[in-house]
Copies of this chain bind each other. A is one copy, B any other.
Amino acid sequence: MAGQRQVQRQNGVALWRQIADRVRTSIDNGEYDHSGMIPPELVLAEQFGVNRHTVRSALAALGQEGIVRAVQGRGTLIERRQRLNFPISKRTRFTAGIGGQGRELQGLLLSFDTEPASETIATHLCLATGTPVIKLEALRKVDGVPVSRSTSWFPGDRFAGIADAYRRSESITKAFAELGLADYIRTSTEISATHAEPSEITDLELSPGAIVLVTKALNTDLDGVPVQYAITRFPADRVHFTIEN
């Protein structure tokens, strides 16, 4: 049975990292739930067909992420196992969607600026290229853990004070309401996945090589007029999406 879960060598990804990724996935999938701890280092080494040192490197990385904690003589305990559910629908709201899961939310304004719309942004917001748009960068945390980093664009004339409103309310929905937009609709969402870039690793407090889920979303008012285009990055080991039809 040994070697069944073997990892691959010399592919530019260190063995300890491949093992860390696999163990993290197993923890997320609840495969070790019965005991609350992961198998002994020697057992994992046997399963993956590597030396115990290599497994230890992997577990050290997971320990650094706060996912496991090793206790001498006992074993390696699972510290944190959380994958937030983020529902996507016509009424997609970050605060309401995550907040319902009994967590403490934060929405931090990282930066904002007014700039002329690029061709891409103008197309999405149905504006002429070069029209002033407000670009807003925000970081969201749940229970103190970063769960998303977004870059949003708003029509500049209509939502002039949105950055300030967002800073105070920490919610896009509330900021919109302050500016007279009582309701809006998620018109389309595109989902992809990629490796985290250095800036995301910093902002989202990820370990290098981590995976981010990327959404590109368009929100419109009830008349179908675009009010926000947003690109948001979620750490894939902390978040998943659900779509209910």
Residues on A lying within 8 angstroms of B by beta carbon are 5-8, 11-14, 16-18, 20-22, 25, 61, 83, 88-90, 185-195, 197-198, 201, 207-209, 211, 213, 236-237, 239-245
Tallying the copies of this chain within the complex gives: 2
Contacts A8-B198, A188-B243, A190-B240 known; list 8 others, CB within 8 Å.
A12-B209, A13-B13, A13-B17, A18-B208, A18-B209, A25-B194, A192-B241, A243-B243
Question: Given that A13-B13, A18-B209, A209-B11 are known contacts, is A244 also in contact with B192, CB under 8 Å in the complex?
Answer: no
* Set B186, B193, B239: member contacting A236, Cβ < 8 A: B193
Q: Which residues of B contact A209 (CB under 8 A)?
A: 11-13, 18, 209
Roughly how many angstroms separate A18 CA and B210 CA in the complex, as a whole number? Answer: 11
**A207→B240 contact, CB < 8 A:** no
- Contact in complex: A11, B207 (CB < 8 Å): yes
Cα distance A211–B209 in the bound complex, in angstroms: 10
Q: Which residue of B21, B22, B245 is within 8 Å of A186 (Cβ)?
A: B245
User: How far is the CB of A234 from the nearest CB of chain B, in Å?
Assistant: 9
Known A12-B16, A17-B13; judge A245-B89 contact (CB<8 A). yes
Residue from B11, B186, B189, B201 within 8 A of A8 (CB atoms):
B201
Give the dominant DSSP class at A's interface.
mixed
Instruction: Say whether, besides A193-B193, A195-B25, A245 and B185 are in contact (CB < 8 Å).
Output: yes
Q: Which residue of B lies closest to A194 (CB)?
A: B25
Query: In the bound complex, how far is the Cα of B11 from the Cα of A187, in angstroms?
Result: 39
CB of B211 within 8 A of CB of A243, answer: no
Interface residue from B6, B201, B242, B245 paired with A90 (Cβ < 8 Å): B245
Q: Is the CB of B17 within 8 A of A11?
A: yes
Q: How far is the CB of A33 from chain B (nearest CB, A)?
A: 13
A211 touches B191 (CB 8 A): no
Task: Report B-chain residues with C-beta under 8 Å of the C-beta of A211.
Answer: 193-195, 211
Residues in chain B near residue A185, CB distance under 8 A: 245
